[in-house]
Amino acid sequence: MATRPTPASPWKRTLYGVLLLPVMLVATYFGLCVLLLSAYTVVDPPTTGVQMQRRIEALAQGRDYAKRYAPVSAEAISPHLRHAAVAAEDARFFEHLGVDWQAVRKAIEDNRRRGRTWRGGSTITQQLVKNLFQTTHSSYVRKALELPLTYAAEAILSKDRILTLYLNVIEWDDGVYGAEAAAQHYYGRAAADLSRSQAAALAACIPNPRARTPQRMTAYRNVILTRMRQMGW
């Protein structure tokens, strides 16, 4: 005669539920992000994680917040800005598969020599998924979530689309997001009409856009211009 299995005790069922919940939440999060990435092959994000973060921060601080965000097509962004962003942020963008482990190793070695965190090794793809689906707050959890999303973005989106989305969503000042809004904000012109020097100056602001302005980044702008020439641009 078959023996009936002993039912799990209430505390075991509770423990199972507690352990299963975060797994289900992470799986749901990744599933939603993959669906959105698939949609972003043809449409522009209506908002991003960083944009929502900034709005919440403004509300918490009781200050006004005006968002300027106007995504445009790849053709409506100056090639100079596309080249400047790659030269400044991710020189091997067209070679790696989402994560540039060579750049990560160099960043670790550089930071160790300096005794502090001086530079990061994040690629444009990593920065894109952070902007789309996360916040600017740094943590090991965020990095752990960022890595598979980076590879998913590379699998779903073309390099050209990744770069276009990146330039359309990144922050360039308080409430200023994307190349078109930044070009209008700083130069009073369309992103398509940015000069080589203006593009390099805007790219120089990307690492710290809320503290930097193009007009104060002459030295780094010149470094980026040199890199662009070295890369054949």
As a 3-state breakdown, the chain gives helix, strand, coil percent values, each rounded to 5, of 65, 5, 35
**Is the pLDDT assigned to residue 120 strictly greater than 80?**
no
- Domain assignment of residue 46, yes or no: yes
Which CATH number fits the domain that encloses residue 144?
A: 1.10.3810.10
48: tokens are: 């991003």
**Is the pLDDT assigned to residue 119 strictly greater than 60?**
no
- Domain assignment of residue 1, yes or no: no
* pLDDT (tens digit per residue) in 39-81: 999 999 999 999 999 999 999 999 999 999 999 999 999 999 9
> What distance in Å separates the CA atoms of residue 30 and residue 12, rounded to the nearest whole number?
28
184: tokens are: 């209008």
Q: How far apart are the first and last CA of the chain?
A: 80
Of 97, 154, 153, 163, give the one whose Cα is nearest residue 124.
163
Q: What is the pLDDT of residue 152?
A: 97
- Domain assignment of residue 88, yes or no: yes
- What value, to the nearest 5°, has the Cα angle with vertex 103 and ends 196 and 88? 10
**Is the pLDDT assigned to residue 148 strictly greater than 80?**
yes
> Is 132 in contact with 45 (CB distance < 8 Å)?
yes
Query: In the predicted model, what is the mean pLDDT of the chain?
Result: 91
The pTM for the full model equals 0.88
Q: Which domain holds residue 107?
A: 19-230
Of 49, 7, 55, give the one whose Cα is nearest residue 32.
49
Q: What is the pLDDT of residue 106?
A: 80
- Domain assignment of residue 3, yes or no: no
Structurally, the chain folds into a number of domains equal to 1
- Domain assignment of residue 10, yes or no: no
**Would you call 43 helix, strand, or coil by DSSP?**
coil
